Amino acid sequence: MIGLLVRRNIIFILMSLEVMLNAAGLAFVVAGSRWGAPDGQIVFIFILAMAAAEVSVGLALTLQIYQRFKTLDADAASEMRG
């Protein structure tokens, strides 16, 4: 989570996101193992599918941002000011 908050490089943000999703899946699997139920592993499989879809879209966005701004700084893509 610290990696997600502190880093400004989009690649590192995506990697930290993977670690966080993995940690959530680990918690599910541990809970499923504690009660001997397969539900935790099933939720982990869903998290896995979600992570695969998320990372493919995120990396495509990263390539597009690099082509457009010539940098990987997350602050560069702040044209849509809130």
Partner 1 sequence: MDALFYISAAVAIIATFIMVTRMNAVHALLYLVVSLLAVALVFYSLGAPFVAVLEVIIYAGAIMVLFVFVVMMLNLGKRTILQERQWQQPGMWVGPAILAAILIGEVVTIITRGETRMSGAAVVGPRAVSLSLFGPYLIGVELASMLLLAGLVGAYHLGRRTRETREKEDVIRTDAARSASGGDLVRAGNDRAAGSS
Backbone angles phi, psi at 28, to 5 degrees: -65, -45
- % helix, strand, coil for the chain, step of 5: 80, 0, 20
DSSP-assigned beta bridge partners for residue 9 = 73
- Residue 78 CB, shortest distance to partner 1, in Å, is 19
DSSP-assigned beta bridge partners for residue 73 = 9
- Residue 47 CB, shortest distance to partner 1, in Å, is 10
Binding site for partner 1 (CB under 8 A): 2-3, 9, 11-12, 14-16, 18-19, 22, 26, 29-30, 32-42, 44-46, 48-57, 59-64, 66-68, 72
- Residue 81 CB, shortest distance to partner 1, in Å, is 22
